[in-house]
C-alpha cells in the first residue's frame, strides 16, 4: 500500500443547535508513504478538521477517508501532535511521554527505552523526572513531540506545532522535526499558517480556500526533496514557490 492516506470526495458538515456549517467540500487528495504534505489556508477554513478526520476523531459526512487502506476508526496508525503541548501538569515529563503507551497498554520498559533515546537526541537528557512546569515552551513542545513519536505511528499529524515557539527555537525545531521525519521515513501531514515553514519542510503543499474548504491547488515541491529547511530557505527557487503559494491563496475566483 503506497498511498497511506486517501481522501475521496470528502464532505463534512458540522451541526450545532443554531446552524449547520459546511466545512469541507469535495476534498480529494492522497499522501504516499514517506511523504510530507503541508496544508495552508485561511484561519477557520477546516485544516484541523482534516487532521481530525485522518486521526478518526470524527467521520466524514459523505465520501471516504482511508488510512493504510481502512477507515481510521478501525486502525491505529496515526499520531497527532496538537496545537498546544497539552502536557499534564501532575505527571513528570517521562510520565507524560508514556501516557500514550499506558493508554494503548504497550510494553512500558520498551517504550521507556525508546523515550530515553529520543530525549537524548533532543537535548532533553535529565528532565524525565522533572515536571512540565519547569520547562521552557520549546522544551515542552519537544516533550509533546516525543510523546507522539514513542508510539511509532506510521502517520504523524502536526497541527501548527510550532506556533507557540519563539522565532529562534522555531527554526531549530523545524530543522529537528524535518530530520527526524525524514530519517524515520515517516508520513506526515503538517498544518501551518506560515508559508515559509510549509516550503521548508514539505514535499507538497495543499492550498485551501476559505470555508467551505476546497483544495485550490496542490503545489509540488519535491524538487527540494532531501534538502534540509535551513538550505531550502536560501535556495533561489524558494521565493518563486513562495509567490506561487501566495498568489494561489489570494486568488479568490479559483
Kindly indicate which of the ranges 3-11, 14-22, 71-79, 195-203 contains the residues binding ligand ATP, using the contact rule CB under 6 A. 14-22
Among 4, 37, 45, 101, binds ligand ATP (CB under 6 A): 45
Contacted by 131, from ligand ATP, Mg ion, other proteins, none: CB < 5 to 8 Å by type: other proteins
b/e sequence 39-67, b meaning 16+ C-beta within 10 Å? bbbeeebbbbbbbbbbbbeeebeebebbb
Among 48, 52, 78, 96, binds Mg ion (CB under 5 A): 48
Contacted by 44, from ligand ATP, other proteins, Mg ion, none: CB < 5 to 8 Å by type: ligand ATP
Q: What SS3 class is residue 141?
A: helix
Query: Please, which residue, 97 or 208, has the CB nearer to ligand ATP?
Result: 208
CA–CA gap between residue 5 and residue 72 (Å, rounded): 10
Least Cβ distance, residue 163 to other proteins (angstroms): 13
Query: Please, which residue, 20 or 86, has the CB nearer to other proteins?
Result: 86
Kindly indicate which of the ranges 3-11, 37-45, 68-76, 143-151 contains the residues binding ligand ATP, using the contact rule CB under 6 A. 37-45
**DSSP 8-state secondary structure symbol assigned to residue 213:** B
C-alpha cell at position 144 = 509533546
Residue with grid cell 467551505, as numbered in its chain = 212
b/e sequence 10-26, b meaning 16+ C-beta within 10 Å? bebeeeeeeeeeebbbe
Sheet holding 20-32, edge to edge: 20-32, 3-15, 62-67
| Dmax (CA) of the chain | 55
Kindly indicate which of the ranges 95-103, 196-204, 232-240, 246-254 contains the residues binding other proteins, using the contact rule CB under 8 A. 95-103
Residues composing the chain: 254
Query: Please, which residue, 20 or 102, has the CB nearer to other proteins?
Result: 102
Contacted by 23, from Mg ion, ligand ATP, other proteins, none: CB < 5 to 8 Å by type: ligand ATP
Q: Which of the residues 190 through 229 are near ligand ATP (CB under 6 A)? A: 211
For residue 206, what are the β-bridge partners? 39, 218
Contacted by 196, from other proteins, ligand ATP, Mg ion, none: CB < 5 to 8 Å by type: none
Query: Please, which residue, 49 or 78, has the CB nearer to ligand ATP?
Result: 49
Amino acid at each position: 500500500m503506497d498511498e497511506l492516506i486517501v481522501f475521496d470526495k470528502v464532505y463534512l458538515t458540522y451541526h450545532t443547535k443554531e446552524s449547520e456549517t459546511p466545512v469541507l467540500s469535495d476534498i480529494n487528495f492522497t499522501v504516499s508513504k514517506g511523504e510530507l504534505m503541508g496544508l495552508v489556508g485561511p484561519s477557520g477554513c477546516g485544516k484541523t478538521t482534516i487532521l481530525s478526520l485522518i486521526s478518526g476523531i470524527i467521520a466524514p459526512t459523505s465520501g471516504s477517508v482511508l488510512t493504510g487502506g481502512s477507515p481510521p476508526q478501525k486502525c491505529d496508525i496515526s499520531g497527532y501532535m496538537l496545537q498546544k503541548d497539552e502536557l499534564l501538569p501532575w505527571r513528570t515529563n517521562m510520565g507524560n511521554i508514556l501516557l500514550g503507551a499506558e493508554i494503548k497498554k504497550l510494553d512500558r520498559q520498551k517504550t521507556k527505552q525508546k523515550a530515553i533515546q529520543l530525549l537524548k537526541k533532543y537535548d532533553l537528557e535529565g528532565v524525565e523526572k522533572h515536571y512540565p512546569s519547569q520547562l521552557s515552551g520549546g522544551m515542552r513542545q519537544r516533550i509533546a513531540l516525543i510523546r507522539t513519536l514513542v508510539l511509532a505511528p506510521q502517520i504523524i499529524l502536526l497541527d501548527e506545532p510550532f506556533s507557540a515557539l519563539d522565532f529562534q527555537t522555531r527554526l531549530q525545531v523545524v530543522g529537528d522535526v524535518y530530520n527526524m521525519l525524514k530519517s524515520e521515513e515517516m508520513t506526515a501531514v503538517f498544518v501551518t499558517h506560515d508559508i515559509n515553514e510549509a516550503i521548508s519542510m514539505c514535499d507538497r503543499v495543499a492550498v485551501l480556500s476559505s470555508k467551505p474548504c476546497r483544495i485550490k491547488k496542490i503545489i509540488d515541491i519535491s524538487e527540494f526533496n532531501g534538502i534540509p529547511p535551513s538550505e531550502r530557505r536560501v535556495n533561489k527557487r524558494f521565493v518563486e514557490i513562495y509567490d506561487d503559494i501566495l498568489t494561489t491563496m489570494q486568488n479568490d475566483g479559483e
